[in-house]
Amino acid sequence: NARIVSPTTIVASANPVNNSRWSEDQKINLNEIPALKPIIDRFDLIFVVRTPKDENIIRKYTYLKSLQEGSLIPDYSNYLKKHITYAKRFNPIFSEEAKSILDEFFIILITKNKKDVFNSPRRRDSIYRIAKAISKLKLKNIVDVDDAKDAIEFYNVVLLELERTVNIPEDPRDVAYKECIAILRELKEFGGIALY
């Protein structure tokens, strides 16, 4: 037995096991993905693409697609390739505030759904990787509070599909500030300090 550090990016697609149709329209059932649970657990993000059944959604899609017929669609692929190539030069470090927010999010995520297959210690690493990737795309050297919140909002999209969203924890500085204001208000009530 050996442990080999080999970070790998895998993008996979699969049809659901039940005749290529998802049993529910609004959420993911991980049992419908044709892969072993330990393999599913190793994927950071899972997105489901469904064929819409609502006539209004189909109608809106059809009309929007028809409007695009014959018009030039801008191609940004060259810019995206260059931006991503340049962003790979960055290796941002995490600020303490960003770590605190991401850690709180992970703790709430795990404790809220204890028996969930998708909630493993690997989720913490996933959230950190997403935050770092967002910071890289913004060409930053530090993963700050905004990057952490963006990562959590992005990750909540996946959790929404699993019907498990988690509120974004507050910035520790904001918590400390609010606590200081509350203490100062208490002191004012007892005549110990004057607030202007």
Helix (H), strand (E), coil (C) string for 7-45: CCCCCCCCCCCCCCCCCCCCCCCHHHCCCCHHHHCCCCC
Pairwise pLDDT comparison (188 vs 156), residue with the higher score: 156
The sign one gets for the Cα dihedral 1, 45, 25, 69 is negative
Alpha carbons 151 and 167: distance in angstroms, whole number: 12
Rounded mean pLDDT of 104-127?
79
Q: How many residues appear in the chain?
A: 196
Higher-scoring residue by pLDDT: 72, 98: 98
Looking at the chain, the whole-number percentage of residues with pLDDT higher than 90 is 31
User: Can you tell me the distance from the alpha carbon of 28 to that of 160, in angstroms, rounded to the nearest whole number?
Assistant: 9
The whole-number pLDDT of residue 187 equals 72
- In this predicted structure, the answer to whether residue 76 has a pLDDT above a threshold of 80 is yes
What are the residues facing 143 on neighbouring strands? 94
Question: What's residue 114's pLDDT?
Answer: 60
Confidence at residue 54, expressed as pLDDT on a 0 to 100 scale = 82
Average pLDDT taken over every residue of the chain: 82
Q: How far is CA 79 from CA 60, 87, 124, 165, 185, in A?
A: 30, 12, 31, 33, 53
Query: Residues 140, 91, 80, 159: what is their CA dihedral angle, to the nearest 10 degrees?
Result: -90
CB distance 131 to 148 below 8 Å:
yes
The pLDDT-based confidence of 73 (bands split at 50, 70, 90) is confident
Alpha helices (H) along the chain: 37-40, 55-68, 77-87, 96-112, 122-137, 145-161, 172-189
Average pLDDT score over residue span 115-142: 86
